[in-house]
Amino acid sequence: GYFFSVWRKCIWSSHDLSDIVFIDNYIFNKDVFIQFNSTVGKYVGYTELGVYNAQLYNNNTGRLQSERAQVDICKQNADIYQQTITDKS
């Protein structure tokens, strides 16, 4: 059988969330074949299919804007998590 999944992650280490990064991985049979990283600001392909799709996705300005906007959503959610955690400690 085949295995396909999408993993979306928000990663940060600073308390002010200034270093937050949004990563959107597309995985086929346990290998990442294409990834959007907000630090890079575009899709990067890691396989032949991934490179092909990255070109298509990077030429779609609406899709890129949507992915780039995910950083703001990450910041909103991370701020809520951070406040909850610091209130408890």
On the CB side of 39, CA atoms within 13 Å amount to: 9
- The domain spans of the chain are 4-87
Torsion over CA: 25, 28, 29, 33 (sign) = negative
C-alpha–C-alpha distance, residues 53 and 61, integer Å: 14
Tell me the CA end-to-end span of the chain in Å, nearest whole number: 46
Predicted pLDDT at 45: 98
**Residues 37, 21 contacting (CB under 8 angstroms):** yes
**What sign does the CA torsion over 15, 76, 68, 49 have?**
positive
pLDDT given at position 86: 74
Rounded to the nearest 5°, which phi and psi values hold at 75? Answer: -65, -40
Could you tell me the pTM of the whole model?
0.86
Q: pLDDT value at position 55?
A: 98
pLDDT (0 to 100) of residue 39: 96
Q: Which pLDDT does position 89 carry in this prediction?
A: 58
- pLDDT averages per 10-residue partition of the chain, 89 residues: 95 90 96 97 96 97 96 92 76
